[in-house]
Chains A and B, each alone.
Chain A
């Protein structure tokens, strides 16, 4: 499978199954597309004959012959038209140990963000609840017990707002550090915060103990404050910006993300990303809001052309700034073409419901943070002696890019890995039916990332 596209001054081809990316000139781009669409093999004489016939007005037959020879060579080297002969074994994931946990340390929040999938921390239950340190510690025991031979264990403190229950965070971390030694494991902690309660003490602790911190901010003040505000309606921007700048600096501008959401209110989100870059942040992630189409801030299919333009604006500026030596990282444009994840990881996806689970404040277990509170997807509790709901676990384990018809034929499959299962379930009602709008945006981002690679390789 080959995917070709033009962006700005570049002609790019991705050979999906080998992962090879080629930058072409107009002639070779036209010839490649012609052969691919017509199903012609560059090694057959027929290919040359037909291609010359097609392009005789534009290109000389010598040039065409030369290009076809090059394409044939790439094909022989498995760098174009590579077969998809990878055989994926479902069992791998079915029996995979649990290695990552999202700990819902606080189902309470000091902001009232409009689009919050956590329902302002309540997660569609009637109560605002904090996780006790005791439950957190039992969750750490549970993780160690179920992690088999995996050494690196990941725990994300999530909410609601985790800093509202920071004493418990501290106790849980120090308990986990004891377990590390006893069981020869390495705990990697991360925390996601809206920043309202961030102070020096907490920051010291976080910088000492946590491998990553995700700082929620949406971009420009008016954009941020329209959706991220306190219970009294006041916006969060003015108090979080200085706190986040300090945090980023204190971590050497690495191992953190400022993380924003864009909605229909700011379809010009490239300005928000650049605003964050102008504030000095080097690690930035701004992502589309995820929700059904019923609210006035939901993204809709008709917004796609606008969103695509924005991603292009963004990548152009992203490349320009990198070339000027004042670059920043944008999470969704970061692709490692040489040493990225192995194909097994790319096929199996996010690991939700198998390798990765979320734990609610009361100890209930869900496939991931986005399912928390949904009775249908409750898999058990860390307090149960037995194992998690086998049927649910197997259902999630069986989900991979080959189990979804849409993904099988998608050029982005080895970058995207099958999309967010939670979106598929919560919006489309089926684990194997990816959310179309998210897919369109994902594919555009993959193109932009490949363009950036080509532009920066100059």
Chain B
């Protein structure tokens, strides 16, 4: 595509299948303690 550059693939929906294992870090444990910041957490699920 000449005029549109897509930065990533559409993975969000697919992540439902093997997601939800709950092994990743809770957001407030990382740094913030005042805001819910989830998108920057690392996924710990190797099956995904």
Q: Which A residues lie at the B interface, using CB under 8 A?
A: 15, 17-25, 27-28, 66-67, 70-71, 73-74, 77-79, 82, 85-86, 92, 96-97, 99-100, 102, 117, 150-152, 154, 156, 158, 188, 190, 192, 212, 214, 257, 259, 261, 285, 287-288, 290, 331-332, 334-346, 349-352, 355-356, 368-370, 414-421, 423, 438, 442, 446, 449, 453-454, 457
Instruction: Decide yes or no: A20 and B8 within 8 Å by CB, A341-B38, A417-B38 being known contacts.
Output: yes
Instruction: Decide yes or no: A331 and B6 within 8 Å by CB, A17-B13, A343-B12, A356-B26 being known contacts.
Output: no
- Cross-chain contact B36 with A23 (CB below 8 angstroms): no
Size band of the B side of the interface? 35 or more
Instruction: Decide yes or no: A345 and B33 within 8 Å by CB, A150-B22, A355-B26 being known contacts.
Output: no
CB closest residue in chain B, given A188 = B25
Taking chain B's interface residues, is the majority helix, strand, or loop, or is none over half, making it mixed? loop
- Top-8 shortest CB links A-B: A342-B19, A19-B12, A344-B20, A342-B15, A415-B39, A100-B26, A18-B10, A337-B8
- Cross-chain contact B40 with A331 (CB below 8 angstroms): yes
Scoring A117, A350, A418 by chain B CB atoms within 10 A of each residue's CB, the highest score goes to A350
- Cross-chain contact B34 with A290 (CB below 8 angstroms): yes
- Of the A-B pairs whose beta carbons lie under 8 Å apart in the complex, a sample of 15, sorted by A's number, is A17-B13, A22-B4, A79-B10, A214-B33, A257-B30, A259-B32, A341-B43, A342-B16, A343-B13, A343-B19, A350-B26, A351-B27, A356-B29, A414-B39, A417-B36
- Cross-chain contact B31 with A285 (CB below 8 angstroms): yes
- Cross-chain contact A154 with B36 (CB below 8 angstroms): no
Residues from 1 to 21 in B contacting A, C-beta threshold 8 Å? 1-13, 15-16, 18-20
Instruction: Decide yes or no: A287 and B8 within 8 Å by CB, A86-B16, A340-B41 being known contacts.
Output: no
- Cross-chain contact A332 with B37 (CB below 8 angstroms): yes
- Cross-chain contact B33 with A21 (CB below 8 angstroms): no
Least Cβ–Cβ distance between A157 and chain B, in angstroms: 11
Instruction: Decide yes or no: A152 and B30 within 8 Å by CB, A22-B4, A350-B36 being known contacts.
Output: no
The contact of A345 among B4, B10, B32, B41, by CB within 8 Å, is: B41
Least Cβ–Cβ distance between A432 and chain B, in angstroms: 14
- Cross-chain contact B6 with A79 (CB below 8 angstroms): yes
The contact of A99 among B26, B31, B34, by CB within 8 Å, is: B26
CB closest residue in chain B, given A414 = B12
Taking chain A's interface residues, is the majority helix, strand, or loop, or is none over half, making it mixed? mixed
Least Cβ–Cβ distance between A83 and chain B, in angstroms: 9
* CA of A152 to CA of B46, assembled, Å: 14
CB closest residue in chain A, given B35 = A420
CB closest residue in chain A, given B12 = A19
Instruction: Decide yes or no: A341 and B35 within 8 Å by CB, A22-B6, A102-B28 being known contacts.
Output: no
- Cross-chain contact A416 with B3 (CB below 8 angstroms): no
Neighbouring B residues of A214 by C-beta, 8 Å: 31, 33
Neighbouring B residues of A156 by C-beta, 8 Å: 29
* CA of A74 to CA of B7, assembled, Å: 13
- Cross-chain contact B35 with A28 (CB below 8 angstroms): no
CB closest residue in chain B, given A89 = B20
- Cross-chain contact A343 with B16 (CB below 8 angstroms): yes
- Cross-chain contact B40 with A338 (CB below 8 angstroms): no
* CA of A343 to CA of B31, assembled, Å: 22
Neighbouring B residues of A290 by C-beta, 8 Å: 34-35
Neighbouring B residues of A28 by C-beta, 8 Å: 3-4
* CA of A337 to CA of B12, assembled, Å: 9
- Cross-chain contact B41 with A438 (CB below 8 angstroms): no
CB closest residue in chain B, given A442 = B35
Least Cβ–Cβ distance between B25 and chain A, in angstroms: 6
Instruction: Decide yes or no: A369 and B4 within 8 Å by CB, A351-B26, A355-B22 being known contacts.
Output: no
CB closest residue in chain B, given A12 = B7
- Cross-chain contact B37 with A23 (CB below 8 angstroms): no
Least Cβ–Cβ distance between A307 and chain B, in angstroms: 14
Scoring B9, B33, B34, B42 by chain A CB atoms within 10 A of each residue's CB, the highest score goes to B33
* CA of A17 to CA of B11, assembled, Å: 10
Neighbouring B residues of A20 by C-beta, 8 Å: 6-10
The contact of B36 among A117, A188, A335, A419, by CB within 8 Å, is: A419
- Cross-chain contact B38 with A336 (CB below 8 angstroms): no
* CA of A96 to CA of B24, assembled, Å: 13
Neighbouring A residues of B31 by C-beta, 8 Å: 212, 214, 257, 259, 285, 331
Least Cβ–Cβ distance between A447 and chain B, in angstroms: 13
